[in-house]
Amino acid sequence: MKRIDTQLAKFVRWENAKTFWLHLIWTPDTIHIVEEVRDLIQGLLDLHSINKNWHPSTKYNVTTWSVEYWKFASWEAEVTIDQSVRWKHVYLFSDPNWDARSKNTDLKRKLNELFSNDDINNVNLKSELEKLLLNTDSANMSFNDKLIHDLLTLEAIKDHWAQTTNLVMSCMAYARQDKTTPNKRQPISINILGKIIADLTWNTWYCITTSLHNSASKSAFSGTQFINLYTWWLIEEAINDLWKSSDNLVLSPADVWWMKTIEEISKELKLKHITVVKSRDYSSDNEVSEMSVYWDIEWKDVLIHDDMLDTWWTMVTLLEKMLEKNPKSINLVITHWMFNKNAYSKLQEVIDKSNGIIKNIYISDSINKEWLPDYVKVIKSNKIITNVITNIFKWYSIDRWDNTDYTDI
């Protein structure tokens, strides 16, 4: 209670101030969303102050900064924030899952297309461009490199007197390590990360994520106000793009562990849903030995939803099982698109065998991908994140989803 009273006192001082300062800090991996969110927030706050006469003498300043990431010769991490954060409300946008090495692959592919012949001048220019574009610290950081840089940035924000420190990590790191395997003496890694973030953001209001792998994991972030955004908005966008409405539409989870979330989303969007059960062969990593689909999906439009896809063993097995039941169409909605190992080739193989039944894959922009196949469509999360942050500003409930018309912004 004391902590909440302290936060409320800070908010009252902020409410009476002449200027609202909101700073969005982007890492090399999140600039694609931060600038869009900044413009939307600024527009919404300006409209709100005009329409509601909300502190008419108050100015609203929404700015974005970058944070500089460095490595010492010993590979220790260092961060620098070159602007003052004192008494400002700061949101750090983090995406440690973004694989800069995939960006390197995409850049090399583009360079090969540009310099396709063997002319010596082209070869030399291509070599110089590769050095310039690919050999940077940020382009060679691993997942854990970026995560430790982000944690150090949170510490820097807190130590330099930000009024509130907030974290937006759409794809929460270590979210899948939420339980232990019997007799393997494993840590619950998400608990460790939650304790670190809660300690670094002791004066925060919010830690915001999307489709947390296990919603119970938010208890690891005790001491901070944790927002787990369910992805009904993602499914709704996909449905509107595909059919507008369909009497034959059924929603499917990728496995039984995602069933509760599917039930909640189906209730919210008034959709039918089916049940899927998988059994896993633990003698081989990621091998799914059997999938069972408990529903008649013949000549149905099936929309499969999952929180994340990594190596695709589960999804490929499910798609093969569903194709045996003669659906009219299959589309996928995936929140976090990881796609590691040989996932592309596995997916392409099952799509080719479907004879056009598997049509589109809709993903959020929670993980920045430089290259995607033609059948993958990205649904931006900028509006939903904007709604959350502006509701915090306006002292509204986070559960209030305004049907905001963004065309005037």
Residue 18 has pLDDT above 80, yes or no: no
State residue 373's pLDDT score.
83
More confident residue, 49 or 13: 49
Lowest pLDDT segment from 67-71, 235-239, 304-308 = 67-71
CATH of 2-98+140-229+383-408, one of 3.40.1110.10, 3.90.105.10, 3.40.50.2020, 3.40.640.10: 3.40.50.2020
Integer angstrom CA distances of residue 23 from 92, 93, 352: 9, 11, 47
The residue ranges of DSSP E strands in 58-153, in sequence order, are 59-66, 68-71, 77-80, 89-93
Tokens in use for 184? 């393997």
Residue 225 has pLDDT above 90, yes or no: no
Cα–Cα distance measured from residue 26 to residue 35, given in angstroms and rounded to the nearest whole number? 9
The yes or no reply on domain 232-379 and CATH 3.90.1150.10 is no
More confident residue, 269 or 360: 360
Position of tokens 């939803």?
305
State residue 5's pLDDT score.
41
**Confidence band for 181, pLDDT divided at 50, 70 and 90:** confident
**Burial degree of 330 (CB within 10 A; 0-12, 13-18, 19+):** buried
State residue 327's pLDDT score.
94
Integer angstrom CA distances of residue 116 from 104, 119, 131, 247: 18, 9, 18, 50
State residue 21's pLDDT score.
81
State residue 8's pLDDT score.
40
State residue 185's pLDDT score.
86
For range 92-117, the mean pLDDT: 63
**Burial degree of 228 (CB within 10 A; 0-12, 13-18, 19+):** middle
For range 320-332, the mean pLDDT: 93
Residue 9 has pLDDT above 50, yes or no: no
State residue 353's pLDDT score.
92
Residue 251 has pLDDT above 50, yes or no: yes
Residue 409 has pLDDT above 70, yes or no: no
Neighbours of 344 (CB within 10 A): 12
Q: What's the length of the chain?
A: 409
DSSP reduced 3-state for 321: helix
Q: What would the pLDDT profile of 20-72 be if each residue is shown by its tens digit?
A: 788 899 887 788 789 889 988 888 777 665 555 455 556 678 888 888 888 88
Q: Which of 8-12, 142-146, 313-317, 353-357 has the highest mean pLDDT?
A: 353-357
Residue 201 has pLDDT above 50, yes or no: yes
| CA torsion, ordered 396, 167, 258, 360, to nearest 10 deg | 90
Would you give the DSSP letter of residue 296?
-
State residue 58's pLDDT score.
61
For range 252-259, the mean pLDDT: 83
Residue 272 has pLDDT above 50, yes or no: yes
Contact in structure between 217 and 194 (CB atoms under 8 Å): yes
The domains of the chain are located at 2-98+140-229+383-408, 100-134, 232-379
Cα–Cα distance measured from residue 275 to residue 292, given in angstroms and rounded to the nearest whole number? 8
Cα–Cα distance measured from residue 273 to residue 295, given in angstroms and rounded to the nearest whole number? 9
State residue 333's pLDDT score.
94
Q: What would the pLDDT profile of 124-175 be if each residue is shown by its tens digit?
A: 665 656 554 544 555 567 888 889 989 999 999 988 888 888 999 999 999 9
| Consecutive H or E run containing 38 | helix 31-52
State residue 101's pLDDT score.
46
More confident residue, 304 or 110: 304
For range 258-262, the mean pLDDT: 85
Contact in structure between 237 and 217 (CB atoms under 8 Å): no
| Consecutive H or E run containing 322 | helix 313-323
Tokens in use for 390? 């502006």
Cα–Cα distance measured from residue 303 to residue 295, given in angstroms and rounded to the nearest whole number? 13
Contact in structure between 345 and 311 (CB atoms under 8 Å): no
Cα–Cα distance measured from residue 180 to residue 192, given in angstroms and rounded to the nearest whole number? 13
Neighbours of 386 (CB within 10 A): 22
List the one residue out of 393, 407, 386 whose CA is nearest residue 60.
393
**Confidence band for 13, pLDDT divided at 50, 70 and 90:** very low
State residue 352's pLDDT score.
92
Residue 199 has pLDDT above 90, yes or no: no
Computed over every residue of the chain, the mean pLDDT equals 78
Q: Which of 40-49, 115-124, 191-200 has the highest mean pLDDT?
A: 191-200
Q: What would the pLDDT profile of 287-299 be if each residue is shown by its tens digit?
A: 555 677 877 899 9
For range 361-377, the mean pLDDT: 86
For range 374-391, the mean pLDDT: 89
State residue 231's pLDDT score.
84
